[in-house]
Structure 1
Amino acid sequence: MSTFQTGMAPMRSMGDDSDVEEEALVADYKEQVQYEDLDDLDTSNSLAHQPDDLQARLTQAAQPLEFSAPLEAKFQSYDAYCSLFHFILNSEGPVDLEPPSYYWAWDVIDEFIYQFNSFSTYRARIARQGNSEDIQMLRENPNTWGCYSVLNVLYSLIQRSQITEQLAAMKRNEDPMAVAGQYGSKNLYRMLGYFSIIGLLRIHCLLGDFSLALKTLDDIELNKKAMFARVMAAHFTTYYYVGFSYMMMRRYGDAIRMFSHILVYVSRTKNFQKNAQYDSITKKNEQMYALIAICVAFHPTRLDDTIHTALREKYGDQLLKLQKGGPDSLPIFEELFRTACPKFISPVPPDFDHPEANVDPIEHHLSVFMDEVKTNMWSPTVKSYLRLYTTMDLKKLAGFLDVKPEDLRSLLLVNKQRTKQLRWTDHALLEGELVNVNDLDYALQGVSYCSSRTGVFVAKL
Structure 2
Amino acid sequence: MSYRQQAQPYQQADGPARAPADESDDEEALVNEYREQTQYDEDGMVDLDRATSLGAASQQDIQAQLQAAATPLEFQATLDTKFASYDNYCSLFHFILNSDGPVDLEMPNYYWAWEVIDEFIYQFNSFCSYRQRVALRNENAEEIQLLRENPNTWGCYSVLNVLYSLIQRSAISEQLAAAKRGEDASLYAGEYGNRPLYKMLGYFSIIGLLRVHCLLGDFSLALKTLDDIELNNKKGMFARHTTAHITTYYYIGFSYMMMRRYADAIRMFSHILVYISRTKNFQKNSQFDTNAKTVDQMHVLIAISVAFQPTRLDDTIHTALREKYGEQFNRMQRGGPDSIPIFEELFRAACPKFISPTPPDFDNPEVNIDPVEHQVTIFMAEVRNNMWSPTVRSYLKLYTTMDLKKLAGFLEVEPEKLRHWLLVNKQRSRQVKWNGGGLLDGTVENLSDLDYAMEGDLIHISESKTGRRLVEWYLRNLQRTY
- TM-score, normalising length: structure 1: 0.91
Aligned to 1:281: 291
Q: How much has 1:272 moved relative to structure 2?
A: 3.8
In structure 1, distance between residues paired with 2:33 and 2:273: 26
Cα displacement (A) at 1:225: 2.1
Partner of 1:16: none
| Per-residue deviation, 1:46 | 4.4
CA distance in 1, matches of 2:29, 2:202: 25
Q: Please state whether the residue corresponding to 2:127 is helix, strand or coil.
A: helix
The equivalent of 1:64 in structure 2 is 72
Which residue in the other structure is 1:373 paired with?
A: 383
SS at match of 1:280: helix
* Alignment coverage as a number of residue pairs: 443
Deviation at 1:397, TM superposition (A): 2.2
- Tell me the residue number matched to 1:407: 417
Matched, 1:138 2:147: yes
What do residues 347-373 of structure 1 show as CA deviations (whole Å, max 9, x unaligned)? 000011111111111111111111111
**Equivalences for residues 242-253 of structure 1 within 5 A:** 242-253=252-263
Cα distance in 2 for partners of 1:447, 1:393 equals: 6
| CA 400–11 in structure 1, closer or farther in 2 if over 3 Å, else same | farther
Match of 2:40 in 1: 32
| Superimposed CA distance per residue, residues 95-119 of structure 1 (whole angstroms, 9 cap, x where no aligned partner) | 0112111110000000000000000
SS at match of 1:346: coil
After superposition, the Cα gap between the structure-2 partners of 1:260 and 1:270, relative to the gap in structure 1 and judged at 3 Å, is same
Match of 2:191, SS state, is helix
Measured in 2, the distance between the counterparts of 1:346 and 1:368 equals 15
Q: Distance in 1 between matches of 2:99 and 2:30?
A: 36
Question: Matches of 2:280 and 2:305 in 1, distance apart?
Answer: 28
Work out the CA distance in 2 between the residues paired with 1:196 and 1:444. 50
Residue 179 of structure 1 corresponds to: 188
SS at match of 1:276: coil
Flag structure 2 segments of 5+ consecutive residues without an equivalent: 1-19, 466-482
Q: What aligned pairs does 1:389-428 form with structure 2 within 5 A after superposition?
A: 389-428=399-438
Are residue 89 (structure 1) and residue 97 (structure 2) matched?
Answer: yes
Deviates more, 1:362-371 or 1:382-391: 382-391
Q: Distance in 2 between matches of 1:229 and 1:349?
A: 35
Equivalent position of 1:324 in the other structure = 334
1:352 corresponds to: 362
Q: Distance in 2 between matches of 1:49 and 1:77?
A: 20
Q: Which digits, 9 at most, give the CA deviation of each residue in 1:366-419, with x for residues without a partner? A: 111111111111111111112223443433322322333343233212211111
Residue type of the partner of 1:49? A
| Partner residue in 2 for 1:387 | 397
Amino acid at match of 2:63: Q
Corresponding position of 1:168: 177
1:253 Cα deviation from its structure 2 partner: 1.0
SS for the counterpart of 2:89 is: helix
Which position in structure 1 is the counterpart of 2:371? 361
Local SS of the residue matching 2:111: helix
Tell me the residue number matched to 1:100: 108
The one-letter amino acid of 1:420's match is: R
Relative to structure 1, the CA distance from residue 22 to residue 81 in structure 2 (aligned partners, 3 Å threshold; closer, same or farther) is closer
Counterpart in 2 of 1:47? 54
Q: Structure 1 residues 71, 46: CA separation in 2 closer, same or farther (over 3 Å shift)?
A: farther
Match of residue 432 from structure 1: 442
Q: Conserved in 1, the CA contact under 8 Å of 2:138 and 2:362?
A: yes
After superposition, residues 328-347 of structure 1 pair within 5 angstroms as 328-347=338-357
Tell me, yes or no, if the aligned pair for 1:167 and 1:220 is still in contact at 8 Å. yes
The whole-number CA distance in structure 2 between the counterparts of 1:451 and 1:294 is 26
**RMSD of Structure 2 on Structure 1 (CA):** 2.3
Cα distance in structure 2, aligned partners of 1:136 and 1:65: 23
Matched with 2:86 is: 78
Q: Distance in 1 between matches of 2:119 and 2:30?
A: 31
Q: Which residue in the other structure is 1:192 paired with?
A: 201
Residues 242 and 281 in structure 2, CA contact (< 8 A), matched pair in contact too: no
Aligned with 2:192: secondary structure? helix
User: Counterpart of 2:474?
Assistant: none
- Distance in 1 separating the partners of 2:281 and 2:327: 33
Q: How big is the shift at 1:190?
A: 0.6
Alignment equivalent of 1:256, drawn from 258, 262, 266: 266
User: Which of 207, 227, 239 matches 1:218?
Assistant: 227
Change (3 A) 1:424 1:409: same
The answer to whether the aligner puts 1:115 opposite 2:123 as a matched pair is yes
Q: Using the alignment, how far apart are the partners of 2:460 and 2:68 within structure 1?
A: 62
Q: Residues 230 and 388 of structure 1: is their aligned pair in 2 closer, same or farther, counting only changes over 3 Å?
A: same
The CA distance in 2 between the partners of 1:106 and 1:398, in whole Å, is 55
- 1:266 is displaced (CA, Å) by 1.3
Q: CA-to-partner distance for each residue in 1:75-104, whole Å, 9 max, x for gaps?
A: 000000000000000000000112111110
SS at match of 1:182: coil
Tell me which amino acid in the other structure corresponds to 1:276: S
Give, in whole Å, the separation in 2 of the partners of 1:407 and 1:68: 53
Find the aligned partners of 1:22 and 1:86 in 2 and give their Cα distance: 28
**Contact 2:402–2:460 (Cα < 8 Å) also in 1:** no
**Residues 1:125 and 2:140 aligned together:** no
Q: Which amino acid aligns with 1:71?
A: L
Shift of 1:237: 0.4
Match of 1:458 in 2: none
Q: Which amino acid aligns with 2:108?
A: P
TM-score, normalization: structure 2? 0.87
Give the Cα–Cα distance (whole angstroms) in 2 for the partners of residues 125 and 108 of structure 1. Answer: 26
Any idea what SS the aligned residue of 1:95 has? coil
Secondary structure of the structure 1 residue equivalent to 2:444 = strand
Partners of 2:464 and 2:266 in 1: how far apart?
Answer: 25
1:230 counterpart letter in structure 2: R
For the Cα contact (< 8 Å) 1:210–1:245, is it kept in 2? Answer: yes
Q: Structure 1 CA distance, aligned partners of 2:25 and 2:350?
A: 27
